[in-house]
Structure 1
Amino acid sequence: MNSIFERIHMEEILERIEKLSVNAQPKWGKMDVAQMLAHCSSFQDIPMGNSFPPRGWLGIFVGKFARPVFYNDKPLPKNMSTIPTILITDKRDFEWEKENLKQKVMSFQQAGPENCSSHPHPFFGKLTPEQWGKGIYKHLDHHLKQFDV
């Protein structure tokens, strides 16, 4: 499984983000491209230790068993539910969101696994830095595929 902590995979993600256009249309889901970028940035804040969404009751009871979905080799399901605090519904500026996400991806990769937050994922719970690295890559890959890049 690819990890955002590996430079080659970070660079691949950055190239794909750069290929996005303001007019890109989703293959699934309700977010437009700028909202998707903002969502990915908000998600990125969790392992970076900048955001601490609370654990929901469902995650507390089943998150541990579903955890491998986040970092295994299988694609994430389309239209999978998201963390309520990072569901983006308001209008966003595409160019700003694109640059913001790229900066966060680079900062996270450069900080390395040793600086990954120990705060639990709101649904899956406690993750190792290795699991976060794989999960972040997988999450970004999922949303970039959503917009055909």
Structure 2
Amino acid sequence: MKSLASTDVLAETKNRLLAVRPDDRARWGKMSATQMVRHLDCACDVALGARAAKPVKGIPPPVMKWLALRSGVRWAKNIRTAPELERLIAERTDGEFDALVKSAAVKIESLTTTGSYAGSHPFFGTMTAADWMRWGYLHADHHLRQFGR
């Protein structure tokens, strides 16, 4: 299973992110390319423990985590995001697009170098470092495919 723990997967993911352009159109969903990049950036903040996101009610976290991270089933196109991240996506995005992309790429790489992660994910509950590496790849892959990258 692909994970950011692999240097090849990390390089591939970052290259795909760096290929996103501000005028890229989503194949599904409502986000613009700029909003998607900001979403990746802010979601990494949650993983790194720099931004809080409350648990989301729904499918029990252990079941949701297994389905999302271990089952091999591709994520649905219009899955929910944590309310805290939805609010950030709706806000005006400050900064130049290229700077947002670079920031998101740095944070994705930080997932592989930090020893400190949030203790839990809003949907998946308790997470290990390996879980965050797997999530980091799947989350980025989901949104990069959304924009044809």
User: Is residue 2:89 matched to residue 1:86?
Assistant: no
Which residue in the other structure is 1:70 paired with?
68
Structure 1 residue 52, shift from structure 2 partner: 2.3
Which residue in the other structure is 1:106 paired with?
109
Structure 1 residue 53, shift from structure 2 partner: 1.2
CA contact (8 A) 1:55 1:122 kept: yes
Structure 1 residue 118, shift from structure 2 partner: 4.5
Structure-2-length-normalised TM-score: 0.89
Q: Is there any run of 5+ residues in structure 2 with no aligned partner, and where? A: none
CA contact (8 A) 2:24 2:33 kept: yes
Q: Distance in 1 between matches of 2:79 and 2:116?
A: 25
Percent of aligned pairs with the same residue? Answer: 26
Residue type matched to 1:62 in 2? Answer: P
CA contact (8 A) 1:71 1:132 kept: no
Aligned residues: 144
Structure 1 residue 69, shift from structure 2 partner: 2.6
CA contact (8 A) 2:62 2:124 kept: yes
Which residue in the other structure is 1:51 paired with?
51
Q: Distance in 2 between matches of 1:46 and 1:39?
A: 11
Encode CA deviations 1:70-103: one digit per residue, 9 max, x unaligned: 3122211001011111121133242221111011
| Pairwise CA RMSD | 1.5
Q: Distance in 1 between matches of 2:18 and 2:30?
A: 21
2:47 partner SS: coil
Residue type matched to 1:69 in 2? Answer: L
Structure-1-length-normalised TM-score: 0.89
CA contact (8 A) 1:3 1:136 kept: yes
Which residue in the other structure is 1:136 paired with?
136
Q: Distance in 2 between matches of 1:116 and 1:68?
A: 22
Which residue in the other structure is 1:117 paired with?
117
Residue type matched to 2:63 in 1? Answer: F
CA contact (8 A) 1:7 1:109 kept: no
Which residue in the other structure is 1:40 paired with?
40
CA contact (8 A) 1:53 1:122 kept: yes
Q: Is there any run of 5+ residues in structure 1 with no aligned partner, and where? A: none
Residue type matched to 1:39 in 2? Answer: H
